[in-house]
Amino acid sequence: MNLELVPQLKHTKSNNFFLLCGPCAIEGEEMAMRIAEKVVSITDKLNIPYVFKGSFKKANRSRVDSFTGIGDEKALKILRKVSETFKVPTITDIHEISDAHMAAEYVDILQIPAFLVRQTDLVVAAAETGKVINLKKGQFMSPESMKHAVQKVLDSNNEQVMVTDRGTMFGYQDMIVDFRGIPTMKQYAPVVLDVTHSLQQPNQSSGVTGGRPDMIETIARAGIVTGADGIFMETHFDPANAKSDGANMLHLDHLEKLLTNLVAIRKTVNSL
């Protein structure tokens, strides 16, 4: 995948990792703009190619009373405003075939959630929009099996595809990252490491997913060392009150120090 083909993607020749980052879900315009402004200022300073991430709706919820969104069109318009205001591309996930065309009108990259990545009709519908496609590796899938998901996109006449590792189930209520999967999946497409979702602790009795945000830097550092092309993480200025996935988010105040450290590691890796 040629990242330079993603509209407005900055710093593609910096030999740095790229970053997919933002809130789990679009909760409103003010919060999205606030987070985007902060992340853009940091990534500009560190010469990191940046894509703003935000879900326009959350279909995969533990409970029926969990937050799912502020309205599809309203959230998608906010994503468009972020892109137009800060001149950065955006990414959002889709859950149904009908979402593909709708979301493609507003964002640059369509993401297929991990639980849905084997759904052929959904993957093909996304690929046929001509947008860049980010395939999340299923928590239940081997790295080697992702070559088939990638091939579905290629067979749909779309070469703009990347794969994201978001951890593997370890028992019923924990996740681990098998870092051997990064070089394996790089044989098929550029690989992103989803740091924050890899630290989820799902299937809690409360119906609310837990997490280990204290391990974010550890996992991110290891991802850079093992050759991840990009880093994915969710951030919020108030994770404790975020409407989705707050338990495993990075506080926005900690983002600059983390990214500074990751850039230094990347420079060292590039020099070897």
Total-model pTM: 0.92
CB 20 within 8 A of CB 91: yes
* Cα distances (angstroms) measured from residue 1 to each of 19, 116, 161, 269: 15, 22, 6, 22
**pLDDT at residue 152 tops 80:** yes
Q: How far is CA 251 from the centre of its chain?
A: 16
Cα–Cα distances (Å) from 13 to 9, 136, 245, in that order, read 10, 25, 33
- 17 within 8 A of 230, measured Cβ to Cβ: yes
* Span 7-27, average pLDDT: 78
Q: How far apart are CA 7 and CA 126, in angstroms?
A: 17
Cβ proximity of 52 and 90 under 8 Å? yes
> Taking the C-alpha atoms of 66, 67, 71 and 73 in order, what is their torsion angle to the nearest 10 degrees?
-110
Look at residue 76 and tell me whether its pLDDT is greater than 90.
yes
Q: What is the pLDDT of residues 242-259, one digit of tens each?
A: 887 777 889 999 999 999
Average pLDDT of the chain is: 91
If pLDDT is split at 50, 70 and 90, which confidence band does 131 have?
A: very high
- Range in 2-11, 85-94, 206-215 with the lowest mean pLDDT: 2-11
Q: Identify the pLDDT of residue 208.
A: 62
User: Coil, helix or strand for 259?
Assistant: helix
For the cut 70, the answer to whether the pLDDT of residue 109 exceeds it is: yes
Average pLDDT over residues 97-122: 97
Instruction: Check residue 167 and give its pLDDT.
Output: 94
CA dihedral 35, 227, 199, 265 (to 10 degrees): -60
Q: Rounded mean pLDDT of 33-49?
A: 97
